[in-house]
Structure 1
Amino acid sequence: MRIGTIDRKTSETAISVEVNLDGTGAYDVSTGIGFLDHMVEQFSRHSLIDVKLHVDGDLHVDQHHTTEDSAIALGQAIANALGDKAGIGRYGSVYSPMDETLARVALDISGRPWLVWNCRFTQERLGEMDTELFEHWFQSIAQAVGITLHIEVLYGTNNHHMIEGVFKGFARAMRQAVENDPRKGGAVPSTKGQLGG
């Protein structure tokens, strides 16, 4: 099994993460931000990546540090579990419908982090979470894992459906990308023989 763990402590947050890329989508998530918990749980369930994520953050200041640092730590744990990325699918792309909303996510675990974000929300908050923080969460996880990540909400009117469609699409695309393909014989999926740079 491909398992990655991270314990990360700063003056702003204390985080522990464990992921199992070959899991069943089991999760135990507690960030202190209810809506973020819900989205990370969706990610776990639909990617089939087991996620244990516990955060003690400075929420008395705001949600920025907890949101950013949870994505960094989760991404670092995924990167650790991926190792040299030998045998993985590398790419994933998904159209993700959620009622009236359609989101599209395409990604490459290339080692060259980049985020293209084309999502426009009409509410400033969902639950207690600032909607502007979602872009930052995805930027942080893309950087930590080393993902070229394109996310777009093609259409939709309900802000909750929009971001949930995005997280589910990201989850399904990650499942494709981290899946081992036995036909690759353990080779790194690049003609360079390595990913990144």
Structure 2
Amino acid sequence: MASMAATAARVSSLCSVNSPAAYSSTSKSRNCPPECSSSRSSSSHGLGWTGAAAILRCGTDFLKERRKRSSESRAAAVDSIDPQDEYPVGAFGPLYADLKTVTVTPSPGRKAEGLRCSRNTEIRRLAASVDGGVTVEASRTFTTEQVLPRIGKVSRVTKETSVEVELNLDGTGICDCDTGIPFLDHMLDQLASHGLLDVKVKARGDIHIDDHHTNEDIGLSVGTALLQALGDRKGIYRFGDFTAPLDEALIHVVLDLSGRPYLGYTVDIPTQRVGTYDTQLVEHFFQSLVNTSGMTLHIRKLAGNNSHHIIEATFKAFARALRQALEYDLRRRGSVPSSKGVLSRA
């Protein structure tokens, strides 16, 4: 009973002290039953079940009214948003070349959330079938300037290898890779699938000697294609951080699309080979990619005994960290994510 009295007294205090003006005058204006006032006034002599219940009802009514007013205030704020100022499609960076106009209809009952989420969903849905300019008729329209897609294409030919790479940073995870090194094809598939990149690699090299030259030149070409596709790096998050497990293996990757190449690689792999692939070439692949893309990359093994699991978790963690770094930050509004005002490989 003492606990009930304490609870009732607390609710009574909230009802009388924290209520808005409309609730501050009388018990009647607060929609409190008569028992509420009488019970509060006699709180020093203890409360019965009837008085306590009355006070709890008073508090409940007050909270319901407060939520109602808060919802009305939020709705009014959303209605006052100017879509052109608040959600300019082109201001935070390019998505697709020919997409000119996109319209978003907010979800009923979720105005603010619908406005934010539906726009990007609509852009990506339309982009799959874009052929020329696109105009969508609806209630809210966002116009963008003519922009280029984030695609890098590289052709690298030497006496040792011939490598063709195409990389689409705004892809859907499509991988079309034929490197002549089956395990590397499998890893590039992880990069595409988990990074949501479209990756196309066609390579021929002197693999009759070993995989070293082909592995290296593919890393160099993928890094160069990434450098091309990133352009001036305006509007992106820039940083990525992901830890990926694969059974007993656990790999942590942190990267910065800073323009400064650096690789920190602390991954010991128990065996010399996985299939025919030399496991030393994993580090060499990432070093080559870092050198040409201008990326700071740290890879650490936190756990793992199986060589295949360790390497695959490394590519998965790298793909997810890269995906984070490549995404557009809406709050940045197209500015370069650097206090210097520029991010470049030079």
TM-score relative to the length of structure 1? 0.98
Of 105, 115, 137, the residue aligned with 2:285 is: 137
- Alignment: residue pair count: 197
Higher helix share: 2
Aligned equivalent of 1:81, options 204, 219, 229: 229
Deviation at 1:167, TM superposition (A): 0.3
Partner SS state of residue 51, structure 1? strand
1:145 shift after superposition: 0.9
Q: Considering fraction of residues, name the structure with more strand.
A: 1
Deviation at 1:144, TM superposition (A): 1.2
Residue 203 of structure 2 corresponds to: 55
**How do 1:44-193 and structure 2 match up within 5 A?**
44-193=192-341
Structure 2 gaps of 5+ residues are 1-148
- Offset, 1:195: 1.6
Displacement of 1:62 after TM fit? 1.2
Q: Deviations over 1:27-56 (max 9, x none)?
A: 100110000000011011100010000001
- Measure how far apart 1:16 and its partner are: 0.7
2:184 is paired with a residue of what secondary structure? Answer: helix
Q: Distance in 1 between matches of 2:343 and 2:227?
A: 12
Write the deviation string for residues 8-38 of structure 1: whole angstroms up to 9, x where unpaired: 1111111111111000010100110000000
Q: Deviations over 1:125-169 (max 9, x none)?
A: 011110001000011111111111000111111111101000000
- For 2:152, the equivalent position in structure 1 comes to 4
Unaligned runs of 5+ in 1: none
Residue number in structure 2 paired with 1:37: 185
The secondary structure found in structure 2 opposite 1:75 is: helix
Please report how far the alpha carbon of residue 69 of structure 1 lies from its aligned counterpart in structure 2 after TM superposition.
Answer: 0.2
Q: Which has the larger radius of gyration?
A: 2
* 2:169 paired residue among 4, 18, 21: 21
Letter in 2 for 1:109: L
Identity %: 52
1:182 Cα deviation from its structure 2 partner: 2.3
Aligned residues: CA RMSD: 0.9
Q: Partners in 2 of 1:65 and 1:137 — Cα distance?
A: 10
What is the CA distance between 1:180 and its match in structure 2? 1.4
> Residues of 2 paired with 1:15 and 1:69: CA distance?
7
Q: Match of 1:70, as an amino acid? A: I
Amino acid at match of 1:6: V
Distance across 1 between alignment mates of 2:275 and 2:182:
8
- State the alpha-carbon separation in 1 of the partners of residues 180 and 262 from structure 2: 28
**RCO (CA 8 Å, sep 6+): is it higher in 1 or 2?**
1
